[in-house]
Structure 1
Amino acid sequence: MDFKDYYAVLGVSESASPEEIKKAYRKLARKYHPDVSKEDNAADKFKDVGEAYEVLKDPEKRAEYDELKKYGARKDGSFQRPPGWESASGFGGGGYTEADAGQFSDFFEEIFGGGRRAGAGFGSGFGGGFGGQRHSMRMRGEDVHARLALFLEEAFHGCEKQVTFNVQEPDANGRVMQRQKTLKVKIPAGMKEGQHIRLKGQGAPGVGGAENGDLFIEVEYAPHPHFTIEGRDIVITVPVAPWEAALGGSITVPTVGSKVNVKVPKGSSSGSRLRLKGKGLPGKHPGDQIVILQVAMPERHSEEAERLYRKLAEAEKGFNPRSKLHV
């Protein structure tokens, strides 16, 4: 008897997580379901996918199958039950969890054959047999993920945007096609980069009358010429003249959509940070605006300015800005 590699059937690795296994199963079950698929041998492939998932979805059954795969699978692709092996998963002694055993392969019966629970559906919500019959299946539509780029001003104030994305759905002939959809989306004020907006029912259509999937829109920011974002704080680097840094004073600083007057402390240096409370991204706990001072020098100095600098150098000759470098 040939060994059935359930991992290969679902197209996942032996280390695949339960979420990866479920995702692969849902994708393939939709692809091969006889109600929508026009592919050759769709019913057989649909059956194989359901059988593989029935085994791999349960940790205990999966562990048992992994042991059999390790000790019972031969290099030529055949299978022989290891001596003295008996099913411990509950397949053999108490029936299948959700499965109509009559739908499974001889390989499955050889490994897990035994008690059957009458009337159970195939797999996760599949019903009926395969022998030429149609299948009553309800499957929730796949969730769809899209990205939406926003200017900082749009995220700050909130806005309405259009988002375009693709969904897979069967056409009138049952073929799975991609369809482009465009929706208007209301962006609330204060959306952070990486946050998601969920639009219920706007994902891929469900099968057999089941509900549609959802659309998840991830917000990302377009680069801004002046501002950067740290959490909910908005950061800007503001140049100041040497005398403004030395003597202190009031300067005008831009914020998102406005400007404010900020007091520069006397003796400030490049890298000094000033905090404008509540001027960051709005929300339940608004962020702040961080102003980073950067001392800027004029490109050219007048003779008078150079004379004053020489006088300053003489007056402050005891100051060594490189003292921390020990030079």
Structure 2
Amino acid sequence: MEFKDYYQILGVEADADTPDIKSAYRKLARKYHPDLNPEKDAEDRFKEVAEAWEVLKDKERRAEYDELRRYGGRPQNDFEPPPGWRSSASGESPNFSGDFSEFFSSMFGGGFAQGGAGPRAQGFRGQDIEIEMPVFLEETISDVSKPISYELPVMESGQLRRSKKSLKVKIPAGVGDGERIRLRGQGAPGQGDAPPGDLYLHIRLVPHPVFDVEGHNLLVTVPIAPWEAALGAKVTVPTLDGKIHLTVAPKSQSGQKLRVKGKGLTSKIGKGDLYAVLKVVMPDSTSPDVEALWQELAQKAAFDPRTEWGNKGGGKS
């Protein structure tokens, strides 16, 4: 099994703090998002980046991953965990699948469903299996079918072994982060004539490179030029199902929010809203002519944004 170096994937140091890791994730996710990057390997790179963030954002998983990494894991190695190693985080969601790698599933999936891996008495119902299902925000707009693979504990000739099972599951529109979807009879087989257990999908919304989620609402940062903030402008803003045009009013400020009804996440009670958060961005460089215009503006405006501090005079205070 190939070891995944999540720090290398995100291009950060092993001692990077969570905000730096999140910043690196969002930059790479935006770069490789399939809707924004037409290259053939963009989707695979996007999933790899999302998997790295899923581990490193969680304090417990990151600590366990660091332990494995110190044990000797390096990319391209035929990696095996230390003898007897088991993720303590696997109790929360014992199996993982969906768009994540075999390494992720093996290291953090746990293996068997909660309740122990031992064989059940003859005639007992099969174990329930729980799988974490990553879902992209775009996939919540309408019903979507996703392939999954997971392992089941089965008894053969008195020996307990793992058997791999694959199927396609329907993820309903409006599914939310943390929801559980029950698939009857798709868990471990029962003993004797007893029925099989059920499969439970734990929905985890994958962090998006453009949108932040607040409940069923979405937030998107909209960069605007200083003159657009001063004079007003029409700007193009992305949504989950296409682009829209918004009007920025004159004298707009950084941090100001523009509400777009019905462009948030779908839910069972309706649709949330999209909030476009304005951010005034200065040009990286300017020509002498543009510098002269700024100087002229400073003189004619005679504006001091810090008057509440008791400054006197113009903007040079």
Q: TM-score, normalization: structure 1?
A: 0.55
SS in 1 for 2:234: strand
Mapped pair 1:148 → 2:129: no
2:119 maps to which residue?
31
State how many pairs are aligned: 199
1:66 maps to which residue?
none
2:229 maps to which residue?
245
Mapped pair 1:281 → 2:265: yes
1:95-140 residue CA offsets vs partner (Å, 9 max, x unmatched): xxxxxxxxxxxxxxxxxxxxxxxxxxxxxxxxxxxxxxxxxxx422
CA distance in 1, matches of 2:152, 2:262: 40
Cα offset for 1:184? 0.2
1:192 maps to which residue?
176
2:186 maps to which residue?
202
Mapped pair 1:317 → 2:286: no
Cα offset for 1:25? 11
SS in 1 for 2:293: helix
8 Å CA contact 2:140, 2:266 repeated in 1: no
Cα offset for 1:32? 6.6
Closer, same or farther: CA 319–165 of 1 in aligned 2, 3 Å = same
Closer, same or farther: CA 195–154 of 1 in aligned 2, 3 Å = same
Equivalent of residue 148 in structure 2, options 154, 163, 166: 163
Closer, same or farther: CA 26–258 of 1 in aligned 2, 3 Å = closer
CA distance in 2, matches of 1:168, 1:304: 73
Mapped pair 1:270 → 2:254: yes
Mapped pair 1:300 → 2:290: no
CA distance in 2, matches of 1:181, 1:321: 65
Mapped pair 1:180 → 2:164: yes
SS in 2 for 1:157: coil
1:58-69 matches, cutoff 5 A: none
Q: TM-score, normalization: structure 2?
A: 0.57
CA distance in 1, matches of 2:135, 2:115: 33
1:14 maps to which residue?
none
CA distance in 2, matches of 1:249, 1:177: 64
SS in 2 for 1:31: coil
CA distance in 2, matches of 1:189, 1:196: 14
SS in 1 for 2:175: coil
Cα offset for 1:185? 0.6
CA distance in 2, matches of 1:203, 1:151: 25
CA distance in 1, matches of 2:254, 2:131: 41
CA distance in 1, matches of 2:239, 2:307: 34
CA distance in 1, matches of 2:174, 2:240: 12
Cα offset for 1:200? 0.9
CA distance in 2, matches of 1:321, 1:214: 63
1:161-183 residue CA offsets vs partner (Å, 9 max, x unmatched): 11111111212x13222111111
Which residues of structure 2 form unaligned runs of 5+?
A: 1-112, 312-316
1:223-257 residue CA offsets vs partner (Å, 9 max, x unmatched): 43212222211221110010111122221111113
Which residues of structure 1 form unaligned runs of 5+?
A: 1-23, 36-137
Cα offset for 1:282? 1.5
Cα offset for 1:286? 0.9
Closer, same or farther: CA 295–322 of 1 in aligned 2, 3 Å = farther
CA distance in 2, matches of 1:262, 1:301: 27
Cα offset for 1:315? 2.7
1:55-94 matches, cutoff 5 A: none
**Percent of aligned pairs sharing the same letter:** 39
CA distance in 2, matches of 1:237, 1:322: 28
1:44-89 residue CA offsets vs partner (Å, 9 max, x unmatched): xxxxxxxxxxxxxxxxxxxxxxxxxxxxxxxxxxxxxxxxxxxxxx
Closer, same or farther: CA 181–322 of 1 in aligned 2, 3 Å = farther
Cα offset for 1:322? 7.3
1:230 maps to which residue?
214
CA distance in 1, matches of 2:171, 2:306: 49
Closer, same or farther: CA 26–228 of 1 in aligned 2, 3 Å = closer
Closer, same or farther: CA 232–32 of 1 in aligned 2, 3 Å = closer
CA distance in 2, matches of 1:264, 1:26: 56
